[in-house]
Amino acid sequence: MCRLLVIFTKYVTPMRFYLLTLIILASCKNGNDSNQKTVVESPQIVHSPDTAKVDTFKGNSETTEIICDTVYKNKGYKITLRRFNEDNQDETVPNSLFVFSKLTNGKYLPVYTDSIFNRVQDVQFADFNNDKVRDILVQNFSDVRSNWTYFLYLVDTLHNKLKKVKGFEVIKNPHYLPQYNLIDNYVMSGHIWTGFYKIQGDSVKDFEIVIYDEQKDDDSYERAYKKALKSILTARH
């Protein structure tokens, strides 16, 4: 963090103060840019704000409706998140109803419902099983370090079905690696760490390999990351 300390004296004119401030701020920016690290496979979900039309209605309870026409063309899908217990802050107890509907004969009819805990009504679309169809991620909760978890629903557009992946919500900041058909993450905590996972059927396999990023400039995290990937991929064959 760069701190700006200015001592006011009768010798500092307004123009000199202005120029001095610009110089210091520019130096801070250059210093911060030079300290940034490049992380292998950026461990973040790609947010796509233009993938759906979102209408939010608030009343006695909070409801979000997402028309998914731009995500699943010509399928008539709609997602509804309806909060039925606004006071509940216990993530182990459901406070919202997730409904996946399909437009049939001019009406949206539910084809899948699930009671979940939802901290903020955020929905993301990303392919997590390499079938080239974007799946649905519904935000679960965020911890004190803003590490997000999600419920994952695999979308079957051929049969108009969803399949919930059990245990996916324990993965903080999930990020899919399509080239390996694996999931990794990047978790901010006392020690920044990364884990590795894979979807098998309707559940998640944890490879129980954890690497740490000590924020050093010696590429130790990148080397550990590549070693972990090699270990997982080698064990497959």
Residue-wise pLDDT for 35-51, tens only, equals: 433 233 333 333 333 33
Instruction: Identify how many contiguous H helices and E strands the chain contains and give both numbers.
Output: 2, 15
CB 195 within 8 A of CB 185: yes
Domain that holds residue 202: 53-236
**H/E element holding 109?**
strand 107-116
> How confident is the model at residue 204, as a pLDDT?
97
Asked whether residue 75 is assigned to any structural domain, the reply reads: yes
AA identity, residue 71: V
In percent, the amount of the chain with pLDDT more than 90 equals 67
Q: Does residue 12 belong to any structural domain of this protein?
A: no
Q: Which residue in the block uniquely carries the two structure tokens 């209605």?
A: 57
Question: Mean pLDDT for the chain?
Answer: 81
123 belongs to a structural domain: yes
Number of domains the chain is built from:
1
Domain assignment present for 4 = no
Q: What is the DSSP string of 135-154?
A: EEEEEEEE-TT--EEEEEEE
Are the beta carbons of 101 and 109 closer than 8 angstroms? yes
Select from 207, 209, 139, 145 the least CA-distant residue to 174: 139
- The residue type of 41 is E
Q: pLDDT value at position 47?
A: 33
- Tell me the mean pLDDT in the region 159-187: 97
Cβ-proximal residues to 116 (8 Å cutoff; 6+ apart), any chain: 94, 95, 96, 97, 98, 138, 140, 151
Q: Look at residue 37 and tell me if it is in a domain.
A: no
* Euclidean distance between CA atoms 179 and 184, whole angstroms: 12
Confirm whether 228 is domain-assigned.
Answer: yes
- With a threshold of 0.85, does the pTM exceed it? no
Could you read off the pLDDT of 86-127 as tens digits, one per residue?
888 899 999 999 999 999 999 999 999 999 999 999 999 999
What whole-number distance in Å separates Cα of residue 135 and Cα of residue 112?
A: 14
DSSP state of 129: S
Q: Establish if 22 belongs to a structural domain.
A: no
Q: Distance between CA atoms of 133 and 163, rounded to whole angstroms?
A: 13
